[in-house]
């Protein structure tokens, strides 16, 4: 079948772009060639340049399409006057590339503005782009705000009725203005894509979008402004909005339908906004045009399915164009003619630039853009955080971090949003300060953190990444706690002044600035006020100017900025949680707070703070929770530090194999990552590694660890060794899920959780006397003492980890349905048997020590594989009791894996109702009625747990398809909605898993196994059995449920594709 040729129309503001550039003298030839000179050349700009890029893009990919639009005759370009076509002017220069001083790149040194027609007079020479309608599939509008938006006679005829056409609107200042935007907006084209630069949005009154702090914050700020700002209302209602952040990233905002949006941030994971361009000397015209042309090509090739890929490739091509610069060819006898690089060269240069993509959390209210301190890191690792942390240590990298920002400042690499923003904000302050040749006063900021957290190292790395050649800044450090009197400070300021007079900017590090002075808390602060405010210091009756300088104040006794302003001494401990209970203070604490506040004011603390221009709280390896954030990402930071420390330790060389994979005992790794606190921050982490006996070892095992007394210097040794024994609840749970957040003892908190689970076991046994899968509970469990129940409860996290499952607090109306396969049941049962044998051996030793005789069980002399099937079944049945017991204790089980869910409430509700309706019809055809099956009622009349089960069935369709290695995505606007075809083998595989899931669902709803008929009143069923014991006629229900999935998936607006090939079915 011959593919239909696509038609693309390009229209918009055109310009004639003039460039002046230097030409070096030749060694021979006519006299005029022997002199350095400046030449002028001209190229088509605006929509004409965009048209040229689109044509090249289409030709490069050999896409069957014709491009019609703005073209300027190159031979006549020099003859056009500004009255006819607007002229832009730019000065070019040859810039040397970093690392290659011989190669010179021609780029724009300075924009010299525009020349156009007289006031209120449009350019007279404008082409009528298309005389008749061509039924274009893609209409590209380049609205530069230079008159085209007002001249309706020049708009493409296809714009009169866009229907299914893709309309790409490249918008410039003034934004959202003019009759063209009004017309397009009123037409409500369903395939409208608006492309806009963030720099233009920021110029809109009342709009605040952060810049170069973190991709997390920038993305949240933009989405918040789109949802709350009236001036941006028409942009918010666009089907597709692409906001560009230089060549470093973009945000795609998609309106799926009314009140249902989705947003994605596409970004360079290693660079922030404007970081790439700031390292390139010079600029280029056409960066947004090459981006738009690349996007057009991808849409012509793949439709809306290629939208995100088009954005990624467009950003990469923009960067490549900026790198390559302008080219010169032999097009003129007098000089080499100027031209843009060919698209082939641009595309080849773009391959090295890669971009990640992450969905963005949409705002839950319009009062605060980011109330929960959203992290891309958390968003991508919330189900696999522990796995990611361990993989970082073991392999140096981890699956799950591909789409997470990782920023580097000198020799510091950080993945944590809070740290990225702290370092970024200070970096921007310093850069801005250095641009000012005559600042009125020094730049002052503070840095806080526990001893050993790397305060001085961190700020020095910021200076290093700014002053790469070390010709701007000169670092100098002083420890304020060692000052005896004011004269010592005077001497220090003289040194700073001398350094400033030498021509470099002093980068002054005042360590422990919050020390006491002659017994007065924070006594040195008042002496810093004049130098900070006026850039001068007093010596006797003389006033001395300091000159240009940067002051960095490092806290020694206050570990966070918040501690400092509250005059609270840091103690190195990890804060727990700020809750409403913390506000209930007694009179003593109120008085203490008032005293601290008075002390801070007397020390001129508020005056000191008012002179600071920023601060950094160095996060370090310990958790740093706040009101907005529990800092559950601390374990990722810790993992990165641990990996670097082990890589840099020469004694640990033999621990790594040829693939640089680390050999370390699971218990040691678990303790290093999960111990509550390193007493002296990173310094303690280093100490634990250095104290370990690693020389010549092939594996970092328990025997390598320091003895308890030595270890206790840097961590809680009891807790550390407790963690080495097995997985613990606290290493899986989030901070907010702990039963008593104020309790600081790890062991006490763990015991509290274990006892609550053991109590749930005891209650469950007393209430039910049955296991979910068998008619009666085994004697093994009925006779269990509470201590034995505690042993069983304590071991649950270890067994869950073995089958790649985690545990968390139940947050929804019903707990998550466990996803535990038959093979995993066997693994779990084997561990249960192993635990029983260990406990019996321990009891035997205990009884022997007390002189009692012990009848050794036959079980104890066998390994699991030697047991009879009937005996194995006893342990398999125990596995099925675990999730309901955890539910009773308030916890749920989940698979440690990131899987997409269908999230649209309207779709979930509609399809859940359809699913129930089909169920009712099927059961009625089999002769069932409300008396025999109480579920045969209207959806609204179902019990809540049955409703939730139906909702869950729809939400988990993507997860079910992942069982057979399919991924899912939303169907794009113009994409053909074909129904997925499953093979019989795939259907059978899914049917088995669907039955396992149904069994778990019933168990979690309180159902148990019983032979005979299904009893809805007593919640018993003969079908709560393994797949191989399920009657063939009952298996049909699971097969039918699976065969419904492709239809439900299509109705939900999703498409499945094979994960390995990224191809659709």
The predicted structure's pLDDT at residue 277? 93
pLDDT band at 847; cut points 50, 70, 90: low
Cα–chain center distance at 651:
35
Compute the average pLDDT of residues 748-776: 77
What pLDDT, on the 0 to 100 scale, is given for residue 81?
86
Whole-angstrom Cα distance, residue 314 to residue 390? 35
Q: Is the pLDDT at 947 greater than 80, yes or no?
A: yes
Q: Where are the alpha helices (DSSP H) in 211-284?
A: 215-228, 233-236, 275-278
The answer, yes or no, to whether residue 337 has pLDDT greater than 80, is yes
pLDDT above 90 for 580 = no
Arithmetic mean of pLDDT, 517-537: 93
Q: Which two tokens stand for residue 906?
A: 């309207």
Q: According to the per-residue pLDDT averaged within each range, which of 92-101, 989-998, 1051-1060 is highest?
A: 989-998
pLDDT top residue among 197 and 453: 197
- How confident is the model over 338-347, as pLDDT tens digits? 999 999 999 9
> What value does the mean pLDDT take over residues 960-980?
82
Most confident of 604-618, 781-795, 835-849, 919-933: 604-618
Closest CA to 159 of 193, 191, 135: 135
- Indicate whether 591 pLDDT > 90: no
Model-wide pTM > 0.75: yes
Average pLDDT over residues 650-669: 96
Q: What is the mean pLDDT of residues 58-77?
A: 86
When the pLDDT of each residue in the chain is averaged and rounded to a whole number, the result is 87
pLDDT band at 676 (very low <50, low <70, confident <90, very high): very high
pLDDT at 109: 95
> What is the per-residue pLDDT for 800?
95
Range among 224-228, 857-861, 978-982 with highest mean pLDDT value: 224-228
pLDDT tens, residue by residue, 683-732: 999 999 999 999 999 999 999 999 999 999 999 999 999 999 999 999 99
Beta strands in 2-131 (DSSP E): 6-12, 14-23, 37-46, 65-69, 87-97, 100-115
pLDDT in tens, 546-563: 989 999 999 988 888 988
What is the structure's pLDDT at 573? 44
- Asked whether the beta carbons of 180 and 149 are under 8 A apart, the reply is yes
pLDDT score recorded for residue 330: 66
pLDDT of residue 245: 98
- For residue 978, the model assigns a pLDDT of 82
Task: Render pLDDT for 778-822 as a digit per residue (tens, 0 to 9).
Answer: 444 445 588 888 989 999 999 999 999 999 999 888 888 998 988
Higher pLDDT, 1014 or 124: 1014
DSSP 696: T
- More confidently predicted of 760 and 857: 760
Pick the range with the lowest mean pLDDT from 109-113, 284-288, 382-386, 571-575.
Answer: 571-575
Three-state SS string across 309-353, please?
A: HHHHHHHHHHHHHHHHCEEEECCCCCCCEEECCCHHHHHHHHCCC
Residue 963's CB is within 10 A of a number of other CB atoms, namely 18
DSSP 1001-1065: HHHHTT-EE-SSS-BTTTTEETT-S-GGGS-HHHHHHHHHHHHHHHHHHHHTTEEEEETTTTEE-
Residue listed under structure tokens 């790149």: 105
Three-class DSSP category at 926: coil
Predicted pLDDT at 1064: 40
Of 685, 644, 616, 279, the residue nearest 460 (C-alpha): 616
- Strands 805-809 and 14-23, how do they pair? unpaired
Confidence class for position 129, pLDDT limits 50, 70, 90: very low
Peptide bond into 411 cis (omega under 30): no
The pLDDT value given to residue 859: 46
* Percent of the chain with pLDDT strictly greater than 90: 54
Section 819-843 average pLDDT = 85
Q: Which residue has the higher pLDDT, 924 or 575?
A: 924
Distance CA 442, CA 461 (A): 20
> What's the mean pLDDT in 29-54?
87
In this structure, of 193-202, 505-514, 929-938, the range with the lowest mean pLDDT score is 929-938
Question: Stretch 821-850: mean pLDDT, rounded?
Answer: 79
């Amino acid at each position: 079948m011959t593919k239909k040729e696509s038609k693309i129309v390009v229209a918009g503001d055109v310009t004639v772009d003039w460039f002046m550039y230097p030409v070096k003298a030749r060694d021979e030839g006519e006299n005029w060639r022997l002199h350095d000179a400046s030449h002028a050349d001209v190229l088509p700009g605006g929509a004409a340049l965009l048209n040229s890029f689109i044509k090249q893009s289409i030709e490069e990919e050999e896409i069957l399409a014709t491009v019609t639009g703005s073209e300027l005759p190159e031979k006549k370009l020099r003859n056009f006057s500004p009255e006819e076509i607007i002229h832009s002017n730019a000065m070019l220069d040859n810039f040397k590339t970093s690392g290659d001083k011989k190669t010179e790149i021609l780029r724009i040194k300075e924009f010299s503005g525009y020349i156009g027609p007289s006031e209120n007079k449009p350019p007279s020479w404008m082409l009528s782009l298309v005389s008749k309608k061509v039924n274009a599939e893609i209409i590209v509008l380049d609205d530069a705000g230079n008159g085209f938006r007002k001249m309706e006679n020049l708009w493409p005829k296809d714009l009169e009725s866009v229907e299914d056409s893709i309309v790409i609107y490249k918008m410039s200042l003034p934004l959202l203005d003019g009759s063209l935007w009004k017309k397009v907006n009123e037409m409500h084209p369903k395939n409208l894509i608006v492309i806009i630069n963030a720099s233009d949005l920021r110029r809109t009154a009342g709009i605040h979008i952060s810049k170069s702090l973190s991709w997390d914050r920038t993305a949240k700020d933009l989405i918040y402004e789109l949802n709350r700002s009236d001036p941006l209302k028409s942009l918010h209602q666009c089907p597709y909005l692409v906001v560009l952040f230089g060549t470093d990233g973009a945000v795609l905002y998609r309106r799926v339908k009314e009140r249902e949006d989705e947003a994605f941030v596409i970004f360079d994971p290693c660079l922030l906004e404007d970081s790439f361009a700031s390292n390139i000397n010079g600029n280029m015209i056409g960066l947004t045009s090459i981006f738009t042309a690349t996007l057009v090509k991808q849409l012509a090739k793949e439709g809306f399915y290629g939208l995100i890929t088009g954005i990624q490739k467009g950003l990469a091509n923009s960067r490549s164009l900026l790198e390559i610069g302008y080219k010169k060819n032999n097009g003129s006898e007098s000089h080499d003619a100027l031209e843009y690089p060919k698209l082939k060269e641009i595309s080849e240069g773009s391959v090295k630039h890669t971009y990640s993509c992450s969905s963005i959390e949409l705002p839950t209210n319009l009062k605060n853009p980011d109330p929960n301190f959203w992290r891309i890191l958390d968003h991508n690792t919330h189900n696999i955080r522990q796995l990611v942390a361990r993989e970082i240590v073991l392999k140096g990298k981890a699956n799950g971090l591909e789409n997470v920002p990782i920023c580097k400042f000198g020799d510091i690499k950080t993945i944590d949003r809070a740290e990225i923003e702290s370092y970024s904000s200070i970096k921007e302050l310093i850069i801005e300060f250095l641009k000012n040749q005559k600042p009125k006063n020094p730049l002052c900021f503070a840095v806080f953190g526990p001893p050993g957290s790397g305060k001085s190292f961190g700020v020095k790395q910021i200076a290093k990444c700014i002053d790469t050649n070390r010709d701007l800044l000169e670092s100098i450090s002083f420890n304020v706690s060692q000052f005896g009197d004011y004269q010592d400070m005077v001497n220090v300021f003289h040194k700073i002044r001398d350094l400033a007079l030498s021509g470099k900017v002093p980068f002054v590090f005042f360590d422990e600035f919050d020390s006491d002075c002659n017994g007065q808390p924070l006594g040195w602060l008042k002496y810093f006020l004049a130098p900070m405010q006026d850039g001068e210091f007093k010596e006797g009756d003389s006033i001395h100017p300091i000159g240009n300088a940067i002051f960095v104040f490092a806290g020694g006794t206050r570990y966070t900025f918040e501690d400092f302003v509250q005059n609270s001494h840091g103690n190195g401990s990890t804060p727990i949680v700020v809750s409403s209970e913390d506000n209930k203070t007694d009179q003593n604490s109120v008085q203490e707070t008032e005293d601290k506040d008075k002390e801070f004011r007397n020390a001129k603390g508020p005056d000191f703070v008012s002179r600071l221009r920023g601060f950094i709280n160095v996060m370090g390896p310990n958790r740093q929770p706040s009101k907005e954030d529990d800092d559950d990402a601390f374990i990722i930071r810790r993992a990165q530090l641990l990996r670097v420390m082990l890589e840099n330790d020469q004694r640990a060389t033999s621990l790594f194999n040829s693939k640089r994979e680390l050999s370390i005992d699971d218990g040691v790794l678990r303790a290093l990552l999960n111990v509550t606190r390193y007493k002296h921050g990173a310094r303690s982490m280093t100490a634990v590694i250095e104290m370990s006996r690693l020389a010549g070892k092939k594996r970092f095992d328990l025997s390598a660890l320091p003895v308890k007394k030595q270890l206790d210097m840097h961590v809680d040794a009891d807790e550390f060794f407790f963690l080495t024994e097995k997985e613990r609840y606290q290493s899986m749970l989030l901070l907010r899920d702990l039963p008593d957040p104020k309790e600081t003892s790890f062991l006490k908190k763990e015991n509290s959780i274990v006892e609550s689970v053991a109590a749930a076991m005891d209650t469950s046994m007393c209430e039910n006397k049955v296991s979910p899968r068998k008619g009666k509970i085994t004697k093994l469990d009925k006779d269990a003492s509470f201590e034995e129940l505690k042993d069983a409860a304590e071991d649950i996290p270890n067994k869950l980890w073995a089958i790649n499952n985690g545990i968390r607090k139940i947050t929804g109306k019903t707990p998550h349905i466990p996803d535990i396969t038959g093979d995993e049941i066997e693994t779990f049962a084997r561990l249960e048997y192993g635990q029983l044998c260990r406990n019996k051996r321990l009891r035997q030793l205990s009884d022997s020590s007390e002189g009692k005789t012990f009848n050794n069980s036959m079980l104890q002399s066998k390994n699991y594989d030697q047991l009879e099937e009937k005996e194995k079944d006893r342990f398999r049945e125990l596995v099925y009791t675990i999730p309901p017991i955890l539910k009773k204790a308030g916890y749920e089980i989940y698979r440690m894996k990131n899987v997409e869910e269908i999230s649209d409430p309207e779709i979930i509700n509609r399809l859940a109702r359809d699913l129930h309706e089909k169920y009712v019809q099927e059961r009625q055809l089999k002769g069932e009625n409300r008396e025999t099956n109480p579920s045969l009622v209207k959806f609204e009349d179902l019990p809540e747990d049955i409703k939730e089960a139906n909702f869950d069935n729809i939400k988990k369709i993507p997860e079910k398809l992942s069982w057979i290695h399919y991924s899912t995505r939303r169907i794009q606007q113009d994409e053909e909605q074909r129904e997925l075809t499953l093979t019989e083998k795939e259907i059978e595989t899914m049917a088995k898993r669907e039955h396992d899931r149904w069994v778990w669902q019933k168990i979690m709803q309180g159902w148990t196994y019983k032979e005979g008929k299904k009893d809805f009143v007593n919640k018993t069923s003969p079908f709560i059995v393994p797949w191989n014991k399920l009657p063939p006629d009952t298996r049909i229900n699971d097969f039918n449920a699976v065969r419904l999935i492709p239809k439900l998936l299509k109705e939900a607006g999703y498409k499945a594709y094979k994960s390995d090939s990224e191809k659709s079915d």
